[in-house]
Amino acid sequence: MTDQLVVPVILCGGAGTRLWPVSREKMPKQFVPLIGTSSTFQQVLDRVTCEGLFAPPMIITNSEFRFVVAEQARARGVKATIILEPQRRDSAAAIAAAAELAVKKDSAAILLVVAADHLIPDTEQFTAACRAALPAAMAGSIVTFGVKPTYPASSYGYIRPQPAQDGTPVRKVEAFVEKPDEATAARYVADGYLWNSGNFMFRAEVMLRELARLEPEIRTAAKGAVDSLTSDLDFYRLAEDPFAQAPKKSIDYAVMERTALAAVLPVTFRWSDIGSWNAVWDAQEQRPPTPCWWWRSSMPSGSRTWSGNSRPGTGPRRWNTAASTARGASTRAPIPGRAIRSSASA
């Protein structure tokens, strides 16, 4: 095994407005303890601090969140490089800036890009997946983590992998596909497609080379912003004028759907992007009999209604048959939109 350390890049600038009123523009969901007693951002920090595998993380956020990012990282005992975007230009520009900064320090840098608001409860499985992806990333692949579906989700994008070759766990990507309807999602699951988790591992210089080929404006903007980087206390600010020239594109659209270097590591750990109140509810390992603090305290008094057979914003509670039976609950109709399950129990 190589002694090359992986640099985690945590994307931490989203607004998370789908979980209003708890998640707001000024305090989005990644900083709120929606699941457990720590925020999802802090849980991500915990996942990427494995000694011997990860270098200190790089966090991409914006000026409004800089102090809460610093405070929550400090509370976790994590020393991170905090990069401030002057404005939101989507994930491709943020990742390009991180890669530019990384190669200035180490031309052979390996980056692991993760979102600050995703839930992966099993840190050991996540760490094992990162170790499994590392050889392919070092060899020049841009590796994404494809979660084995446990139900036909219509809220996620999918990845169609090529058959495994040479006994290696990482496969070439045949195609990325957009969020399907439920019938198409059921066919995808039957055909062995994977959920697109939006987590990536790659050599920084490989990503920059692909950006220069596929999206030169993004590469040029990121390079200019990093070349004129300024320090501000414990933070680093990307230069505003060049960064503003980057087209707003996700890394999926800018690179992953167009590159010949895309690869996928199939994984079975539990994962959710916590993109809805249904997802928050379903991610709770133990569901409280009374409203959680963030529900009880954030809703107007006239709208605080709750019963044992319902949950915020969803009407009657819906249960997954297998999961409910495993918990000793009564068997009911499957959830058509459940956002997180354990593949091991499927």
> Which tokens hold the place of 311?
């949950």
Residues 160-195: tens digit of each pLDDT? 999 988 888 999 999 999 899 999 999 999 999 999
User: Quick one: which H or E segment has residue 85?
Assistant: strand 81-85
294 close to 316: Cβ distance less than 8 angstroms: no
What is the Cα–Cα distance from 212 to 207, expressed in whole angstroms? Answer: 9
Q: How many domains does the chain have?
A: 2
Written in H, E and C, the secondary structure of 288-324 is CCCCCHHHHHHCCHHHCCCCCCEECCCEECCCCHHHH
CB atoms within 10 A of CB 79: 10
Indicate if 116 and 251 belong to the same structural domain: yes
Do 238 and 336 reside in the same domain of the chain? no
Domain co-membership, 177 together with 292: no
Residue 153 has pLDDT above 80, yes or no: yes
Residue 54, domain member (yes or no): yes
Structure tokens at 89: 């230009």
1 inside domain: no
Answer with the one of 203, 234, 267 that is the final residue of a domain: 267
Residue 222 has pLDDT above 80, yes or no: yes
**Closest of 119, 82, 152 to residue 273, by C-alpha:** 119
Do 308 and 260 lie in a common domain?
A: no
Same domain, 127 and 191: yes
- % residues pLDDT > 90 (the chain): 63
pTM, two decimals, is 0.81
What's the pLDDT tens digit per position in 248-275? 999 999 999 999 999 999 999 999 877 6
Same domain, 150 and 33: yes
By residue range, what is the domain housing residue 23? 6-267
